[in-house]
């Protein structure tokens, strides 16, 4: 059954061990020990949704409590290694979507975790400024196309301003979109459930001269928060110099 949802998109032009038989365990742990979806908060007053994939690729969505459909204020992205309770992401990129600071900065993430209990750490920029965070696992998360299918509508925010956009996700995962104000930017893509089942692989292609990224394809993930009826999208250029970010839910 199709549903209509409101979606906000921000487009910026800058764009996550087995032991031996001795008293010590020096064997390497797998890089995806900390995989999962975590919810929490930062010590700067932002909400946190962290998606740590099987491959180690990690997306930390930073938000504003009660921010409505423009609630996502930033993203931290990188590939994590995790071993014996320590997680590290370096290099990582932090994207600012709220106009606070440079649009994108080089950062690192250092954290500790206990599987199934918590992920706690800090994001540090190249000036030494740190943002701490605490989070806990989000329980059972399943990426299901039947639940995701529907029409999404809302604001499309670029460096050129905000425009009304409709996006449709089909039962087969096909995605189509249209920015419909003065100029018509049409785009298409696809979502496919990832093997670990936590999120969807996402690709978005722009093949329209009215689109800012005409001729380019961006890739990333879509996370569907089924309990709260929200979706989170991050799609980045291959060099992570720019990206497209969506957050959406039912209109109030």
- The 10 Å CB-count burial string (b at 16+, else e) for 118-156 is bbbbbbbbeeeeebebebebbeebebebeebbbebbbbb
Over the stretch 145-192, which tens digit does the pLDDT of each residue have? Answer: 999 998 777 656 554 455 677 778 899 999 998 877 656 889 999 999
User: Which element (helix H / strand E) includes 73?
Assistant: strand 72-83
Mean pLDDT in runs of 10 for the chain (252 residues)?
46 38 38 88 94 95 69 88 95 81 87 95 94 93 90 62 74 88 81 93 93 91 86 88 76 47
At residue 218, φ and ψ (nearest 5 deg) are -110, 145
Distance CA 222, CA 160 (A): 24
pTM of the predicted model over 0.95:
no
Categorise residue 77: left if φ over 0, alpha if ψ from -120 to 50, beta otherwise: beta
**Topology of 36-137 in CATH?**
Lipocalin (2.40.128)
Q: Which value, to the nearest 10 degrees, does the dihedral of the CA atoms of residues 225, 4, 235, 29 take?
A: 20
Q: Which fold has domain 4-13+141-249?
A: Lipocalin (2.40.128)
User: Residues spanned by CATH 2.40.128 within the chain?
Assistant: 4-13+141-249, 36-137
Residue 154 confidence (pLDDT)? 62
């Amino acid at each position: 059954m199709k549903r209509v949802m409101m979606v906000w998109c921000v487009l910026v032009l800058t764009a996550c061990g087995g032991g031996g038989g001795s008293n010590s365990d020096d064997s390497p742990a797998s890089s995806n020990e900390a995989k999962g979806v975590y919810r929490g908060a930062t010590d700067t007053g932002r909400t946190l949704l962290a998606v740590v994939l099987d491959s180690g690729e990690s997306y930390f969505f930073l938000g504003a409590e009660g921010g409505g459909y423009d609630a996502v204020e930033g993203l931290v992205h990188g590939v994590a290694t995790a071993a014996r309770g320590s997680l590290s992401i370096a290099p990582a990129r932090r994207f600012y979507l709220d106009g606070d600071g440079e649009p994108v900065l080089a950062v690192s993430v250092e954290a500790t975790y206990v599987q199934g209990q918590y992920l706690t750490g800090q994001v540090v920029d190249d000036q030494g400024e740190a943002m701490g965070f605490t989070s806990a696992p989000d329980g059972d998360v399943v990426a299901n196309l039947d639940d995701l299918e529907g029409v999404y509508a809302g604001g499309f925010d670029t460096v050129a301003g905000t425009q009304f956009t409709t996006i449709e996700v089909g039962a087969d995962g096909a995605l189509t979109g249209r920015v419909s104000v003065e100029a018509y930017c049409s785009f298409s893509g696809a979502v496919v459930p990832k093997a670990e089942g936590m999120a969807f692989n996402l690709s978005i292609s722009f093949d329209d001269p009215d689109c800012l990224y005409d001729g380019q394809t961006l890739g990333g993930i879509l996370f569907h928060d089924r309990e709260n009826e929200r979706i989170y999208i991050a799609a980045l250029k291959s060099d992570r110099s720019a990206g497209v970010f969506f957050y959406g839910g039912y209109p109030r």
